[in-house]
Amino acid sequence: MNEGEVAVAGSPDRVFVFDTTLRDGEQSPGFGLNQEAKLEMARQLERLGVDVLEAGFPISSPGDFEACRLIAREIRECSITALARAVREDIDAVWSAIREAEDPQIHIVLSVSDIHIQRKLGLTRSEVIRRGVEAVAYARSLCNKVEYSPEDAGRADPDYLVETVEAMLDAGATCINIPDTTGYCLPSEFGALIARVLRGVRHPERAVFSVHCHDDLGLATANTLAGVMAGARRVECTVNGIGERAGNTSLEEVVMLLRVRQASLGLETAVDTTQLVPTSRLLSRLTGVAVQPNKAIVGANAFAHASGIHQDGVLKDRLNYEIMRPEDVGLDSNRIVLTARSGRHAFRYRLAALGLELSEDRFAVAWDRFLRLADTRAEVSDSELMELASQIG
């Protein structure tokens, strides 16, 4: 807890983590995974400690059906779900794929915004509710857990959204997931929408309320936070924030946000945060897509210090510039990177780490040569430092 922060009284409330890396993430361009890769990733997600793992969209292809089946058979520590549109064929495919899971859940999606109802489905509002109710009731006849996602809820009429949610709860949905499918909402709007749904339905305790945000305006994590602050207790997210278009809420961001600011928020997850970086790296290896260096939590620069002022501060006390410990996300340590913006303190520190103790005279010469070298490249490596020191004699 930082100075001046006011702690929330009582023990933290649990937020459940629903990972959709292998469904919403995997369906985006460049992130396709074959069955073996999906299974390898699922094993790592189980190690990470996610509560619900969305394995795929079984009706989409025989390969994805099989991947979902393999995951449902092997992964025992997470609830396993897969996606269906609100039609029997999809629901049957999901159920055949995941029925052997320890804790299966059928996930149904059907639009709720007028834009989608009119321009995509060509139906009326009441026809959509009827279709959703039939799908939920049918899915419940197969499986004890059914999640209903009213697609594009972020742009829907809130009154109609509440009516829809109420109907799906009556039909037997055990989880209601509110998606900001197009990443359109402001955090204040999204938080208010969740609060409105929770206030508007009779007996909201009948179901788990979840949020699912997209990052089109860079607000997915902020909107997810607004959702849990308004009372949602499940968050849908993906490793490295991959997903449709600009991606989904990044799992590592939400998990560390709830952990680092637990004293203020009073919320916690069951994720083993030391598995965050290994999970991110595995996904990059399997997909061949690296994360941007400045990505929060898992980017190569997330715990790197390069400028003289920051390096001096962090070498005096990590608290000066680090709000979380690299060890907590699965890194060995922070990185003191030597560049033309570095300072003497960091230069001396890196030399010492390489076992190079120089007299003050030799240090001054080395520093001078270092600056000239650093101006010619992005970063000065350890081997270049060793060579530079050896030339001074």
* Residue 24 interacting with ligand KIV (CB under 6 A): yes
**In terms of CB distance, is 54 or 312 closer to ligand KIV?**
54
Among ligand KIV, Zn ion, none, residue 224 binds (CB under 5-8 Å by kind): none
* Residue 64 interacting with ligand KIV (CB under 6 A): no
User: Which residue in 71, 90, 74 sits closest to 26, CA to CA?
Assistant: 71
Report the site for ligand KIV in 101-120 (rule: CB under 6 A): 109
CB of 109 to ligand KIV, least distance (A): 4
DSSP per-residue codes, 235-284: EEEBGGG--STT-B-BHHHHHHHHHHTHHHH-EE----GGGHHHHHHHHH
Residues contacting ligand KIV: total by CB under 6 A? 10
CB of 203 to ligand KIV, least distance (A): 23
Which two structure tokens, joined as six digits, stand for 149?
């996602």
17 — phi, psi (to 5°)? -105, 120
Report the site for ligand KIV in 256-295 (rule: CB under 6 A): none
Among Zn ion, ligand KIV, none, residue 151 binds (CB under 5-8 Å by kind): ligand KIV
**In terms of CB distance, is 194 or 340 closer to ligand KIV?**
194
Q: Is 51 exposed, middle or buried (0-12, 13-18, 19+ CB in 10 A)?
A: buried
Distance CA 297, CA 253 (A): 7
* Residue 90 interacting with Zn ion (CB under 5 A): no
User: Of 181, 221, 238, 279, which one interacts with ligand KIV (CB under 6 A)?
Assistant: 181
CB of 243 to ligand KIV, least distance (A): 8
CB of 379 to ligand KIV, least distance (A): 39
Q: Mask 191-230, x = binds ligand KIV (CB under 6 A)? A: ---------------------x-x----------------
CB of 308 to ligand KIV, least distance (A): 44
| Interaxial angle between packed helices 88-98 and 62-74, expressed in degrees from 0 to 180 and rounded to the nearest 10 | 40
User: Of 179, 227, 241, 330, which one interacts with ligand KIV (CB under 6 A)?
Assistant: 179
Distances (CA, A) of 329 to 168, 173, 299, 332, 334: 38, 35, 11, 9, 11
CB of 246 to Zn ion, least distance (A): 11
Where does residue 207 fall: left (phi above 0), alpha (psi -120 to 50 degrees), or beta otherwise?
Answer: beta
Distance CA 130, CA 347 (A): 68
Distance CA 258, CA 104 (A): 27
Residues contacting Zn ion: total by CB under 5 A? 1
Distance CA 255, CA 242 (A): 16
CB of 243 to Zn ion, least distance (A): 6
- Evaluated on CA atoms 54, 58, 64, 66, the torsion sign reads positive
Residues forming contacts to ligand KIV in the complex (CB under 6 A) are: 24, 83, 109, 149, 151, 177, 179, 181, 212, 214
